[in-house]
A and B are shown apart, each in its own frame.
Chain A
Amino acid sequence: MTKKILLVEDETLIALDIEFAIADANCHVIGTAQTVDEGLSMLDSMPCDGVVLDANLGGHSVQPIIEHLQAKALPYIVVSGYTRDQLEFLPEEAVLIGKPFSMTELVDAIRRHLG
């Protein structure tokens, strides 16, 4: 069964890239959110199996989304230019892929954690 993945990323080109990575990992993108509010509402309205998300959307931290995912125990991968120590809200067990990322690394991570 193909896993349904929600993408939260405001940078269009990167979102496009990640969409390809999700596809390469044999998953299906059910939607792309560009803001925190959009992400939270999509999570409520569209059932999904996992989330790939940027840590910062238009200057806003995605902490509310992370908390929501932790609460629902949904698997997720954070893709960000920030290092882990700059993302204090991130739980230790969270998977962080640094930007810029290699396609192989991202596809592997999606397969392992969300697939």
Chain B
Amino acid sequence: MTTINAPAELPALQLLIDAMQDAVAIVAPDGTILAVNKTWRQFSVDNGGDQSSHYIGTNYFGACEGPNGASDDLAGSIAQGLRDVLNTGTDFITEYPCHTPTEKRWFEVVANPFDIDGERYALVAHRNITTRKLAQVEVAYAEQNAQNLAAIVTTMPDAVIAFDLDGQITSWNPAAETLYGYTREEAIGQSMEMLYPPDWPKRITTYIAEIIVSELKNFDVIRKTKWDELRTIAVTAAPIRSRDGDIIGISNVHRDVTVEREAEQKLRSVLDNLFAFVGILDPDGTLLEANKAPLQAAGLEAKDVIGKKFWECYWWTYNDEVAHQLQSDIARVLKGETVRYDTQVQVANGRLVWIDFQMAPMRDATGNIVNVVPSGIDISDRKAAVEKLEQSHETFKNLVDRSPFGVYTVDADFRLAHVSQGASAAFANVNPLIGHDFSDVMHTLWPDEFAEEAIARFRHTLATGEPYHAEPLVEQRLDVGEVESYDWMIERIVMPDGRLGVVCNFYDLSEREKYEQHIRLLMSEVNHRSKNLLAVVLSMARQTARNSTPSEFVELFSQRLLGLSTSQNLIVEGSWSGVSVTNLAEMQLKHLGPEILGQRIKMDGPDITVSPTAAEGIGMALHELSTNALKYGALSVPEGGVDLVWSIDQNKDAFKIQWREHDGPEVVPPTRTGFGRTVIERMAANSVDGSVDIKYATSGLVWQLKAPLEDVEQARDS
């Protein structure tokens, strides 16, 4: 151990160094550490150094160079530096790292010589310079970064432009020059507004303000190049901050998207002009995008629907069920299905329009479903056409159903497909009707032989398309046992399902035959009646001939024939159901002329209707009575007259008609029974099953017919 020659000033120096922040030691000319300050001691404690002496009395060189020192080049250089300070009186300063396992530290060691009593001592101070050192590293990095950034900016394909808060350009990269045509020199210091098209509505200061409050980060603008070309520019903007965090400018990245936007615009205009609906939904059903057509159709703006749940949008609000359907459909689409069906959407004024609606999944590159794409096409025209077709089909169906012809169809599977109302009577015993096997149907209705033949005909027509018109069929029905007659024909047709079928038209001749039978009966009845009438006429002619001279015959017979004809006319006019007595009397007496009829004949009686037979008998009697009165009776003299009265008695069961002549010439009862007498007596009485009373009173002839009312009124068909 070396003897320490501590200078007398050491205590004062000790006080001085204790006040210093750095770790300081005073080193004797031989390198012995004479004193250390508080910082040194503390550092020594903190770092596990010598706790007893804190290196006081040890040789600094030994500490540096000895086996326990910092055994590296740095320690050697520090020892050498300290020697130089002590030997030559120069200052020494150097830095060294002194890292702990947990902390990076850098120190600066400074050795300064000072003389006391001709001896040279050194003041060695260790100063922690970690903070300064780190700042230097940071600056170095920052510089490197800045260089890198500058290189990136320079080589970036996008225009990078910076400008200050006044809008004056401060930075302009080569891509900006390419985009806008201005060189860096031309651009720097200019206002950003030099790039604005004429009449651009927004000032640069407004942009800056919006960018600063971050309302604007990405936006599209139109900008003008040096050559006055307008370009669509997608701008990405951010504020530039100083190291202190103050905003000092704005950075812009400009990308020319003119071509892309034009393409997008074209696509959108195509979509917008389509009368089709196309949209994009989030997986949760939120409408993200929609083209113009559905908006315009419904009188909506984008903001009315974008961001809403798709099923809550106006188009669907006409019906809750539709909304539920859409939700479940979207769930299906998210599982990968595509749904498609016809539905209605609500357009302006609540009108509903039919659309062909589809929802399909949209997948990303990895195949995950990221969106739902609903689309629809207006098919109201098609729907209307279909409805019209259905209506016309309905009309034809009605026509067929109400046709007197029977119409039915047999489908490709040989089953009854449709049976008109006119045909259903013929199939009354087939149950069920529609879908019934046609072979079975035929065997139900007809005997085997005819059934087999008909089935073969149907199969042939179905297979070949050859129509077949059958000979009128007369056959006994198996089910009802009656002989029926049909006229039928078959043709091949295309059925509604697009397959072939056979249509059969048939006409029930049995009905027609029944009708013809009826006509034949009527004809024979008419024939009988006319023969009967001719027989009556012939009899009348014979009777007239028996009681008249040939010269009188024609006149008498003609008058009687006219009388008979008059009654027949009234009978036919009354459709054989009855004749009014008033009419009958007027018509039968018409031949007397209006003067006699109006003044000399009094008619009175209720307006009752008598049977055709009664009309015939009474009519002929009135004819005979009137012609006789004109020839021989009351009407043969100017003052004579006739009262014709008829009545129904109080019990309403007897009819009476009376012909009473008055003021005529003297009455002479006839000596023989002529035709006239037969008519007024027998014929009249027989026609009503009544009785006739004739009185040849001097005042004039009185003829009276009495009969039960029911025999007068009831038609006695002959």
Q: Is residue A86 contacting chain B, with contact meaning CB distance below 8 A?
A: yes
B539 and A13 contact, CB distance less than 8 A = yes
A58 and B716 contact, CB distance less than 8 A = yes
CA distance A14 to B683 in the complex (A): 10
CA distance A11 to B540 in the complex (A): 12
B531 and A11 contact, CB distance less than 8 A = no
A100 and B528 contact, CB distance less than 8 A = no
Residues in B lying within 8 Å of A, measured CB to CB: 524, 527-532, 534-540, 542-543, 546, 613, 617, 678-679, 682-683, 686-687, 689, 716-718
Could you show 16 A-B contacts with beta carbons less than 8 Å apart?
A10-B718, A12-B617, A12-B678, A12-B683, A13-B539, A16-B678, A20-B546, A34-B686, A58-B718, A59-B717, A81-B527, A81-B535, A83-B524, A99-B534, A100-B538, A101-B535
**CB-nearest residue of chain A relative to B617?**
A12
Which A residues lie within 8 Å of B535 (CB)?
Answer: 11, 14, 17, 81, 99-101
Q: A16-B678, A81-B527, A82-B524 are in contact. Are A11 and B536 (CB under 8 A)?
A: yes
Query: Whole-angstrom distance from the CB of B704 to the nearest CB of chain A?
Result: 18
**CB-nearest residue of chain A relative to B530?**
A81
A81 and B532 contact, CB distance less than 8 A = yes
Which B residues lie within 8 Å of A86 (CB)?
Answer: 524, 528
A99 and B543 contact, CB distance less than 8 A = no
Q: A12-B617, A13-B543 are in contact. Are A100 and B716 (CB under 8 A)?
A: no
Q: A12-B617, A81-B532 are in contact. Are A17 and B718 (CB under 8 A)?
A: no
CA distance A57 to B689 in the complex (A): 13
B683 and A13 contact, CB distance less than 8 A = yes
CA distance A34 to B689 in the complex (A): 9
Q: Is residue A98 contacting chain B, with contact meaning CB distance below 8 A?
A: yes
Query: Whole-angstrom distance from the CB of A75 to the nearest CB of chain B?
Result: 22
B686 and A16 contact, CB distance less than 8 A = no
Which one of A16, A34, A82 contacts B543 once the chains associate, using CB atoms below 8 Å?
Answer: A16
A57 and B682 contact, CB distance less than 8 A = no
Interface SS of B by simple majority: helix
B539 and A81 contact, CB distance less than 8 A = no
Which one of B531, B532, B682 contacts A12 once the chains associate, using CB atoms below 8 Å?
Answer: B682
Which B residues lie within 8 Å of A101 (CB)?
Answer: 535, 538
Which one of B524, B528, B530, B532 contacts A11 once the chains associate, using CB atoms below 8 Å?
Answer: B532
B528 and A17 contact, CB distance less than 8 A = no
Query: Whole-angstrom distance from the CB of A80 to the nearest CB of chain B?
Result: 8
CA distance A101 to B532 in the complex (A): 10
CA distance A98 to B687 in the complex (A): 23
Which A residues lie within 8 Å of B686 (CB)?
Answer: 10, 12, 34
Q: Is residue A103 contacting chain B, with contact meaning CB distance below 8 A?
A: yes
CA distance A14 to B535 in the complex (A): 7
A13 and B540 contact, CB distance less than 8 A = yes
- A residues 71-89 in Cβ contact with B at 8 Å: 80-83, 86
CA distance A103 to B683 in the complex (A): 21
- A residues 1-39 in Cβ contact with B at 8 Å: 10-14, 16-17, 20, 34
Which A residues lie within 8 Å of B542 (CB)?
Answer: 17, 20, 103
Which B residues lie within 8 Å of A98 (CB)?
Answer: 531
Query: Whole-angstrom distance from the CB of A29 to the nearest CB of chain B?
Result: 13
CA distance A13 to B536 in the complex (A): 6
A59 and B540 contact, CB distance less than 8 A = no
Which A residues lie within 8 Å of B683 (CB)?
Answer: 12-13
Could you say which of A13, A34, A56, A80 has the most chain B C-beta atoms within 10 Å of its C-beta?
Answer: A13
Closest 8 CB pairs of A and B: A81-B531, A59-B717, A17-B539, A12-B683, A99-B535, A100-B535, A81-B528, A13-B539
Query: Whole-angstrom distance from the CB of B538 to the nearest CB of chain A?
Result: 5
Which A residues lie within 8 Å of B536 (CB)?
Answer: 11, 13-14
**CB-nearest residue of chain B relative to A58?**
B716
Which A residues lie within 8 Å of B528 (CB)?
Answer: 56, 80-82, 86
**CB-nearest residue of chain A relative to B683?**
A12
CA distance A16 to B617 in the complex (A): 14
CA distance A100 to B538 in the complex (A): 7
Query: Whole-angstrom distance from the CB of B656 to the nearest CB of chain A?
Result: 20
A99 and B532 contact, CB distance less than 8 A = yes
Query: Whole-angstrom distance from the CB of A115 to the nearest CB of chain B?
Result: 21
Which A residues lie within 8 Å of B617 (CB)?
Answer: 12
B539 and A16 contact, CB distance less than 8 A = yes
Which B residues lie within 8 Å of A58 (CB)?
Answer: 613, 716-718
Query: Whole-angstrom distance from the CB of B329 to the nearest CB of chain A?
Result: 80
B543 and A100 contact, CB distance less than 8 A = no
